[in-house]
Amino acid sequence: MGNAKRPCTSINTDSEIDQTPILTQTQLEQISCNVVQLLTPIIETTIKTLFQQIQQQLNINLPQSEPQQQKTSRWGCPPNLMPPKIKQAAMTIEQLQQPVFDENLKELYKKKSFYAVIERFPELENEEEDLKNIERNVQIVINNKNFKEAKNFEIKRHGIKKQNNYHRIIKVKFSTPAAAHSFINQYRTIHKPTLGGHSPFARRDLTPPELQLQNYLKQQVKEINTKHGNGTASYPFLCETWLTDNTSNESLLTSNSYDFIRVDRLKKRGGGVGVVYKKEIKIINIPTLSISEYNHELLTFDIYSEFKRIRFHLIYRPPNTKLVDDKKFWGLIKKKYKNDLSNIILGDLNFPKINWQEFTLPKDNQNLYFYNTINKLNLNQIIKEPTMYNTSHTLDLIFQNKQLIEKYKIIDDLVLSDHKSIVFEVVFPVEKVNSKEKRKVLLFKKGKYKIINWYLAQYDWYNIFKDKNPSEMAEILNSIITQAIQKFIPFKKFSEKTPMKYPKEIREIIKQKADAWKKLKLREISKDNYKCLEIKCKLQIEKHKNNYLSKKIGSGHIGEIHKLMKRNRFKYAGIPILNESEENDPIVLDIDKANKFRNIFEEIVSGSKNNIQASFEAKDGYQEEIIFEPYIIEKLLKKLPNKLSHSPENINQYFLKKCATPLALPLSILYENTFKTGIVPELWKIAHILPIFKKKGSVNDPKNYRPIALTSPTCRVFERIIANNILEHLNKHKLIAEEQFGFLPKSSCTLQILSSMQDWYNSLDRKIGTDVIYFDFEKAFDKVDHQILIRKLQEIKIDSLTIRWIGNFLSNRSHIVKIGDHFSEPFLPKTGVPQGTVLGPLLFLIYINDLPKHIPKNIKVKLYADDFKLYSEIKTEKDCIELQGAINNAYRWAKNNRLEFSISKVKVLKIYNKIKYNYEINGDKIEEVNNIRDLGIYIDNKLKFDQHVARITKSSFIRLNNILRILPKTLPIDTYVKAFKTYVRPIMEYSTESFSPKLEYLNKQLERPQRSFTRKVLRYKYKYQKISYNERLKRCKLPPTNIRRIRTDLMTTFKIIKGFYKINPEQIFSKPNRNNPRLHRYQIFKKQAKNNHFFSHRIIDRWNKLPKNEIEKINTIPQFKKFLDKILITEDNNL
């Protein structure tokens, strides 16, 4: 902080000077305390424009760097706050003699420590229901950890209820401060904050000055996200952030392109450091080196380029720091400091007496200690000029141990700050060949396909392929297709994607604003004039952003909305820096990452080598002959998706689809030859492996990724023919286990869940509980043993030619990990079926198909690919022992088939079962859980589904708020509705047949996202008019969510009864008396049941009310959908 001018008193030099002090020491202390407290709101006000000025500071053009070097970023270190003017805090002696304000604050703080505040919790229109909803939410948090001291609490909404979408804060009063503190911590654990700060967030009750400061910081950091869209690679280092744990990063950032790391002051207010950076920057925070101790804040992190690693240390040191704290802090730095790294130490260090231009300093112990410490660390300080206004003090310093910063500028355009801003440039050396290289992108959708089809039709394929083996045929075909692509597919060269840049007129306004600030400093213009220009600048930026988004999705096409949402929600910056542990060096280069993943994936599939090159002379089964006629190939090619994804052949499915007619003949010849000879083209055995994050654990740990194979699209078409033939054979002879619901026609996740729950509810009707054992295979697809798979194919009578081709397809494959434009060394998988191929999932189903045969018949088995569960009715302990035997059988089967269970992930769910029994697997106790995720549905042991409803409601609100945050308010309502249907409704409606709630409060909870959406969207058009929910639904052309659930129930019933699902209808529904002439043949009989709200009971009355003629006449799903939509939208429908 700068020093304010002291008030002067005129002195008569002719008279004797009176040595009596004007004020006593006690009065001076009181004055100091009062002034500090009174200036606090003013200090907080001065922060309000701090981030607004960072834009001008960061857009300064620096001199160009030397050749063969590339600028990666500019970094600015904003200074502290400007001291308020004394006249704004003038007080009389009589006022100062009043009780000090600090004591009042302490009392207020003590009072507020009994409260927890919940922000952004959705508010229901009915106040009584709203309070009940809040109480349930609070009770869930308390019950989760069983806080005995938090059992008694009071709840109240604060503030005036408004018509717009403003959710008033909730204050929860507890009996002790400890209970409030425990509740806040647990609430944050359960309700994770989300991007943009739209999820509920708990904090302590803040005092008015604290609340004013926190609200300001949220607004200003959000403004940084907008202003950073100018295309500059600028990243602010922030000193004195004044943030606390009551402000989450997610509430500060509105763009997924940026992230924020920080260190807050822990023991008292003020201080703190942080940096806002783009996610494309390769950065790793070092938590073990980031501290808030010894009256200092230190943030340490590493930034990587392709060839360099730089460690930054951002420090804030208050002016009143004592020597003992300096010694402790720099002693810690010296222990952790690595001189072999490139280091930059920067921040507001507050050593005003050191003259860095002449290298002179006072000879006091504190300054000498700091100066000597810097020299011992071999650091060079580059800032020589003063960094404070109207003084010669250089408080903001930048040290480096190597020549990293060559150019910097000191700028004086920060509003209400007594510090100037420093803009400096860090250069990272890169290879010259990559500095200006552009990426060539083929524009397949603009290809001249009429000419391409004519070009490919001119070839005499029979003559070209004469006396060639399949590998040679594939090479020739690929070469000809490549030539056609090079001749007739246009391309465009792109440099790396850059952010949206402001147009010239906005850049001029920003420049005018910067000039106006300089004039304001010199008092050449008024503050009102500057404010007008500032508002104009902000409005123009917002208008430009809205226009940009409106052009992208102005047509309202859902594809454009999808691209926009994906780009804004998931800012993909490639595979991040990989670092398994702090002991290992981080992996930065893409080529090194690729080889790291190669080693991990190779280890997974490095089982014992399988010798499956033997001749397959097994007796031919009764599998139908496979035909490769050109018309069949053409039909399959035309059904391909419009995908432009990469492949080892550099051919995509979109091209094959557009050229289906001329390519049908050469592919037919190739397919016939590869099948009859059993020779698989070498091009078809190459797979490019993409590491895909599992969404569990750290993104920096390479073990948290799974491999997905990109294979030849021409091979995928051949695989589809083989797979269809095998499936036809399996279905015709009923060879697939009825318990399997995965990767099969007429099957789905919902059908598997309904089948399981039907058994559980049937048991509950007889007052019998059920124990469910959930298994988890470890790397199941990658552990498939090829020899065992071949034997199982022979057992189910697959013909010898198909088996031989599959054996060669799985043998001697070459897998290469691809990251960016870099490839790893190839590796040969010895086990597994490639994920990403067409045949892979089907082969896995055949591999696991005999598992149910090893389970006793009284134990139920359900499979969805590798998701596997066992369950049984439990009446006595004997039933538990039988279920334990089934667990042992499943473990033995897995061991015999060279698969492994992840023991720690095997769980038991006891549904209304009070019989205690400890299940084991391989000697380890199976953990009992109260709820578990089963194919996307959270099932609890009481089958209430309240936790599942809470989860999907929360997820729906997250996506809803993302839509409203990303899309401009000027778009038509229909566009918002399309986005809502695409991104929000699928979460709300996934498998509602299995959990559709009976309780009214859960139904209202499921309706909340849609209520909120219609209210917010219509507010944009109709401002603050109060519109009823039913009217909002009409204007948005949306049905209530309960009507949608009824529609889904009826659709599923139609599919089961009409045979569109493989399950026998009698497993779900009961047949009526066929002799009754009033009933149609699809009528369902309703039997007595205690749990009458499950799907098989609740849907009967509605189904039986449907018109008899329509049900018997409609035989297709689209027709039935159209019929349902027609009757459900009528106001007089009785469903």
Residue 666: per-residue pLDDT: 95
User: Quick check: helix, strand or coil at residue 666?
Assistant: helix
How many CB atoms within 10 Å of residue 726? Answer: 25
Mean pLDDT value across residues 162-167: 60
Cα-based torsion angle of the residue sequence 241, 247, 248, 254 in order, rounded to the nearest 10 degrees = -80
Cα–Cα distance measured from residue 752 to residue 478, given in angstroms and rounded to the nearest whole number: 43
Helix (H) or strand (E) holding 87, with range, is none
For residue 870, pLDDT over 90 is answered with yes
Residue 973 · residue 993 · CB < 8 Å: no
Q: Which residues contact 1111 (CB under 8 A, 6 or more apart)?
A: 1080, 1082
For the segment 230-276, what is each residue's pLDDT rounded down to a tens digit? 444 467 788 887 777 666 665 566 555 667 888 888 777 778 888 88
| Across 135-139, 445-449, 550-554, 740-744, least confident range | 550-554
Locate the domains of the chain by residue range: 22-83+211-430, 114-204, 741-785+831-943, 947-1128
The reply to whether the predicted model has a pTM over 0.75 is no
For the segment 793-831, what is each residue's pLDDT rounded down to a tens digit? 999 999 999 999 999 999 999 999 998 888 999 999 999
Residue 148: per-residue pLDDT: 62
973 φψ region: left (φ > 0), alpha (ψ -120 to 50), beta (else) = alpha
Cα–Cα distance measured from residue 883 to residue 140, given in angstroms and rounded to the nearest whole number: 33
Residue 90's nearest CA partner among 177, 10, 4 is 4
Residue 127: per-residue pLDDT: 79
Greatest mean pLDDT among 324-333, 360-369, 921-930, 1094-1103: 921-930
Mean pLDDT value across residues 170-190: 81
The single-letter DSSP state of residue 910 is E
Going by pLDDT thresholds of 50, 70 and 90, the confidence category of residue 1073 is low
For the segment 945-976, what is each residue's pLDDT rounded down to a tens digit? 999 999 999 889 888 888 887 777 777 788 78
Residue 10: per-residue pLDDT: 29
Q: Give how far Cα 24 sits from Cα of 28, 32, 34, 93, Å.
A: 6, 12, 15, 12
Residue 46's nearest CA partner among 78, 77, 76, 74 is 78
Residue 274: per-residue pLDDT: 87
CA angle 956, 958, 964 (to 5 degrees): 100
Q: Report percent pLDDT > 90 for the chain.
A: 34
What is the pLDDT of the chain when averaged over all its residues?
A: 78
For residue 697, pLDDT over 60 is answered with yes
Cα–Cα distance measured from residue 840 to residue 1, given in angstroms and rounded to the nearest whole number: 67
| Across 440-449, 520-529, 606-615, least confident range | 606-615
Cα–Cα distance measured from residue 1077 to residue 621, given in angstroms and rounded to the nearest whole number: 48
Mean pLDDT value across residues 274-283: 75
Residue 449: per-residue pLDDT: 92
Residue 37's nearest CA partner among 109, 107, 112, 105 is 105
Cα–Cα distance measured from residue 959 to residue 949, given in angstroms and rounded to the nearest whole number: 15
Mean pLDDT value across residues 761-786: 92
| Among the four given CATH numbers 3.40.50, 3.90.79, 3.30.70, 2.60.40, the one describing domain 741-785+831-943 | 3.30.70
Residue 786 · residue 810 · CB < 8 Å: yes
Residue 59: per-residue pLDDT: 43
| Across 130-134, 234-238, 717-721, least confident range | 234-238
Mean pLDDT value across residues 467-471: 93
b/e per residue 919-928 (b: at least 16 CB within 10 A): bebeeeebee
Q: What strands, in cross-sheet order, belong to the sheet with 201-204?
A: 153-158, 169-174, 115-119, 201-204
CATH superfamily of 22-83+211-430: Endonuclease/exonuclease/phosphatase (3.60.10.10)
416 φψ region: left (φ > 0), alpha (ψ -120 to 50), beta (else) = left
Q: Name the more confident of 556 and 521.
A: 521
Which residue(s) pair with 408 in the sheet?
424
For the segment 997-1042, what is each residue's pLDDT rounded down to a tens digit? 988 999 999 999 999 999 988 887 766 578 889 999 999 999 999 9
Residue type, 81: L
Architecture, CATH, for domain 114-204: 2-Layer Sandwich (3.30)
Sort strands 153-158 and 234-239 into parallel, antiparallel or unpaired: unpaired
Going by pLDDT thresholds of 50, 70 and 90, the confidence category of residue 750 is very high
| Across 156-165, 754-763, 892-901, least confident range | 156-165
Residue 637 · residue 663 · CB < 8 Å: yes
The single-letter DSSP state of residue 118 is E
Q: Name the more confident of 600 and 427.
A: 600
Size of the chain, expressed as the number of residues it contains: 1135
The two domains 22-83+211-430 and 741-785+831-943 share their CATH topology (first three levels equal): no
